[in-house]
Structure 1
Amino acid sequence: MTRSALSFPAGFLWGAATAAYQIEGAAREGGRGESIWDVFCRVPGAVADAQNGGVACDHYHRTAEDIALMKDLNLAAYRFSISWARCMPDGVTPNPEGIAFYSRLVDQLLDAGITPWVTLYHWDLPQALEDKGGWASRETAERFAAYAALMHEALGDRVRIWTTLNEPWVSAFLGYAAGIHAPGRREPAAALAAVHHLLLGHGLAVRELRRRDPEATLGITLNLTVADPADPDREGDVDAARRVDGQSNRLFLDPIFRGEYPADVLADVAHLGMADVVRPGDLDVISAPVDVLGVNYYHGDAFTTDPEPRPAQPASPLVAADGVRQVPRGLPVTGMGWEVQPEGLRRLLNRLQREYTGPAGIPIYITENGAAFEDVPDAAGFVDDQARLAFFDEHLRALHASLADGVDVRGYFAWSLLDNFEWAFGYHQRFGLVRVDYDTQRRIPKASGLWYSRVAASNALTAMDESA
């Protein structure tokens, strides 16, 4: 059986994404201060094999090489994050040397004909701000707006697209509730305060950037999921899916697009005091209009509250779970153990268009999508990663189907350009289009990277034999 060739709309944007702490290295160079990830990685057992991002892919010193690689791969855009700790080591005071690094990066991208897509925050809060309460403190939201203003002052004459936050769900729930990401806190009430202050920081930054540059393109990137009941006829499972959808999706979408938190989620978490941190006028700030929505999609899941013993695991760190568990459905899984569910992307995009972005007239970009698999290089270091290639192809076909359904999707960023430091997994999980030999820092495009470069160049998917 053959999958048909598919063309994408003219002007569809093809790119790849990275994050500062995962690739830059140079953790103690150029006046950079410590981030929460530098500190978290020193906690025994926090990160696989006590790894850290101190060297990572050494992108700080290999920027020109990496941009040449992007050009060879036909990337039209590069989504990267700025290290707040590099540009404001204490979260407050500008560091000219750190800011200059990103100015050079932007110049080199533009010289190569690659659009810089800037993300201001991808989880690496300056430790000095965490010492004052981190995202559980309102002050951090205010500091974030000042940081956004600083970076716009430095780069705004050349950068036209700004993302405020990457995946605030991860920052809040994995960092402050589950404790498996920096800063490693296990305080559900603090996690909900962090949700609100992250969103408030987003709104304050949007307001500041809009004041400085009314023509800039502003947005936020959310990691969104498709939460299904394991048994749609079982009331407990339907409610389990509601809870996950509420705390993973609607808790972020509703305040941004509707200026309110979902009532059912507020009821679920009422005992944790989230209402106490919301001040009059905050939701007006949070719902300041954006120009684009970035969507990160990796997988969906099925959920149950059925106590009967069967293969299941606790749901992602909900702060009001009531026995919610995730149930495997027999789908293929990636190296992270995540189910491969491309049809979920189509359902998610259609829902977003119907309930959120369509009525607001806001286009969507897929700002991350990808998969980790156990890469096996040959003697020359080349990885023939057909499973990853198929993952990209299947998800791009699902995206194309959503376009046919009328969803306004304007571009796609593969995660990730390079193998990199994968947070708590250290260097054991590889997502890259390009293999990085961490001993030599040699970059070698994988089969998936070469395939993706052809897709980007042709703006189309070629026919594929599913039996191959």
Structure 2
Amino acid sequence: MINRRQFLNYSAAVAGSAAFSRYAMAANPMPFGASDGAMPAIDVAGARFPEGFLWGTATASYQVEGAWKADGKGPSIWDTFSHTVGKVKGGDTGDVACDSYHRYKEDIALMKQMNQKSCRFSVTWARIQPTGTGQVNQKGLDFYSRYVDELLGAGIRPMCTVFHWDLPQALEDRGGWPNRDLYKHFADYSAIVAKTLGDRVTTWAIFNEPWVFTNLGYGTGVHAPGRKDFNLFLKAAHTVNLAQGEAFRAMKAVSPKAQIGSAYSMSPPTPASDSAADRAAADRYHAINNVFFLYTAKHGEYPKAFVGNPPYDVMGVRDGDGKIMQAPLDWIGINYYNRHIVADAGNGGDPYTHYHEWMPAEGPVTYNGWEVWPRGLYDIVTRISNEYDKPIIEITENGCSYSDGPLPEDPSKAPDPRRIEFYRGHLAELARAIKDGANVRGYHAWSLLDNYEWAEGYSQRFGLVYVDFRDQKRTIKDSGHWYSRVASTSRLDG
């Protein structure tokens, strides 16, 4: 699966198509629904959102904080990975990133200026427990406490993600997520965070995109810690499922009023043909890519993601693990970026799952080569809504990469019309999902700031706010001003 944080290079043909699409849309931005017929029509004017809908933005600790070894913070796997030659484009690191550790008040002021009512942020495990276990670093907790207070003072709901990929290196040295013992350490850490911030933070995401950090970190090696073994991915995934359930209970124990979910990367699959084999392959894709950590929490068992006998022995599944993994999540977070086509692979594809998948390019293409397909957000939200009995849903990430920056003749302005059209189309489709019965209470644009985009370093810009990484100057893009109007009126046609 190609994920936002994987950014695999496309072929020269796709790159040429992307360049043409960028040129064409910059010259004459085309509203969704007015294309050549490949893009389904979208009703922007009729889009409506419920009263009290939470408009927000999202960030992640390693991607924005910087201060990588300040005030007692220990090293994380992303510190190690980014400091390893050849792992990140341009040799970029998150050592400084957006310097939000020192500039968080400025960033929160931008959120307030943009009429935001929710901020999804994450905490760094190694900033709170430098080695992942044992003694707590009070300076790290104090930072996040100040951050939360600043949000509340600005009238913004804090939504805290407990783990957004930056595992303490000391725990990786002990085996990382494939090491079953890690789930207990994670529960201890989660309880520390919830006990400290739980008097002010009521909405929590335990994990961000668990499929991504387990598969890309241990299966393909594209991300930290850079290990390449499908069996390690399966072991890591099982540990994370155990950790999700154990952390849920640990956090509820110290903060009973906490509303706890997780943020899952989801891409709606379309069978490559109407054959039974391709339809079954698309179902397996959905099971392992979209709900491998959600279904398990809800049902205490794994979905039907494998061909033949499930590899539970490889995963390290033990009797009684179902009860540990099960957690009645209070809400479900969906991160949506693109759709996928899925075909049965016979005996090929990934071990145990046996499918091929790819991202089409019928719609416009973003700077990093991803298809823009707003309809996919409607499809995945309504599917999850129907499969899980109309749960509370929040869109925890949705966004796009374009390279637009401030105008040379007027640096206070940063026009980015393609990003506005991206958000307009996706939000219209989200409004349609709500109209059709999905219980969606909030939306978080990825991202507030241009930031460190993992293995792509600083080469991809997803922000509503432009960041000049030479001097950290922030400039709200046209899309940021547009989004602030949407947040104020809950309308897309203004």
Q: Residue in 2 aligned with 1:30?
A: 71
Which of 191, 209, 217 is residue 233 of structure 2 equivalent to?
A: 191
Shift of 1:146: 0.5
Q: Residue in 1 aligned with 2:106?
A: 65
Q: Residue in 2 aligned with 1:311?
A: none
Q: Residue in 1 aligned with 2:29?
A: none
Q: Deviations over 1:144-193 (max 9, x none)?
A: 11001111221111111111100000111111001001110011111111
Q: Residue in 2 aligned with 1:374?
A: 403
Shift of 1:330: 2.3
Q: Residue in 2 aligned with 1:335?
A: 367
Which of 138, 149, 160 is residue 96 of structure 1 equivalent to?
A: 138
Q: Residue in 1 aligned with 2:320?
A: 281
Structure 1 stretches of at least 4 aligned residues deviating more than 6 Å after TM superposition:
none
Distance 1:460 1:36 in 2: 42
Which of 468, 485, 489 is residue 454 of structure 1 equivalent to?
A: 485
Q: Contact 2:339–2:359 (CA<8 Å) still a contact in 1?
A: no
Task: Name structure 2 gaps, 5 residues minimum.
Answer: 1-33, 35-42
Letter in 2 for 1:289: P
Q: Residue in 2 aligned with 1:115?
A: 157
Q: Residue in 1 aligned with 2:9?
A: none
Which of 187, 212, 227 is residue 269 of structure 2 equivalent to?
A: 227
Distance 2:218 2:353 in 1: 16
Distance 1:129 1:327, change over 3 A: closer
Deviates more, 1:332-341 or 1:447-456: 332-341
3-state DSSP class of the match of 2:292? helix
Task: Name structure 1 gaps, 5 residues minimum.
Answer: 308-313, 464-468
Q: Deviations over 1:35-85 (max 9, x none)?
A: 000111122221101111000000011011111111101111111000001
Q: Deviations over 1:235-285 (max 9, x none)?
A: 5533442332222023222212222112x324457457345x122222223
Distance 1:386 1:371 in 2: 12
1:392 aligns with 2:434: no
Deviates more, 1:324-333 or 1:132-141: 324-333
Q: Contact 2:54–2:118 (CA<8 Å) still a contact in 1?
A: yes
Deviates more, 1:318-327 or 1:67-76: 318-327
Distance 1:373 1:329 in 2: 16
Show the 5 A alignment for 1:64-213: 64-92=105-133, 93-213=135-255
Q: Residue in 2 aligned with 1:466?
A: none
Distance 2:443 2:141 in 1: 27
Letter in 2 for 1:17: A
Shift of 1:306: 7.7
Deviates more, 1:251-260 or 1:32-41: 251-260
Letter in 2 for 1:364: I
Q: Residue in 2 aligned with 1:310?
A: none
Letter in 2 for 1:4: A
Which of 355, 367, 378 is residue 387 of structure 2 equivalent to?
A: 355
Q: Contact 2:393–2:440 (CA<8 Å) still a contact in 1?
A: yes
Shift of 1:357: 4.2
Q: Residue in 2 aligned with 1:427?
A: 458
1:403 aligns with 2:443: no
Distance 1:294 1:323 in 2: 26
Distance 1:292 1:371 in 2: 25
Shift of 1:303: 2.5
Which of 411, 414, 421 is residue 383 of structure 1 equivalent to?
A: 414
3-state DSSP class of the match of 1:324? strand
Letter in 2 for 1:354: N
Shift of 1:305: 5.1
3-state DSSP class of the match of 2:206? strand
- TM-score w.r.t. structure 2 length? 0.87
Distance 1:213 1:197 in 2: 24
Q: Deviations over 1:96-132 (max 9, x none)?
A: 1111110111111111111111000000000000000
- TM-score w.r.t. structure 1 length? 0.92
Distance 1:306 1:125, change over 3 A: closer
Distance 1:237 1:335 in 2: 30
Deviates more, 1:412-421 or 1:151-160: 151-160
Shift of 1:319: 4.6
Q: Residue in 1 aligned with 2:284?
A: 243
Which of 433, 445, 448 is residue 417 of structure 1 equivalent to?
A: 448
Shift of 1:456: 0.5
Q: Residue in 2 aligned with 1:4?
A: 45
Distance 1:446 1:319 in 2: 44
3-state DSSP class of the match of 1:74? coil
Sequence identity (%): 45
Q: Deviations over 1:218-242 (max 9, x none)?
A: 11111111111222x3455334423
Distance 1:319 1:434, change over 3 A: farther
Q: What RMSD in Å do the two structures reach over aligned CA positions?
A: 1.9
1:265 aligns with 2:305: yes
Q: Deviations over 1:348-400 (max 9, x none)?
A: 11111111142xxx300000000001224311333211111111111101100
Letter in 2 for 1:213: S
Distance 1:134 1:337 in 2: 32
Q: Residue in 2 aligned with 1:299?
A: 338
Distance 1:357 1:212, change over 3 A: farther
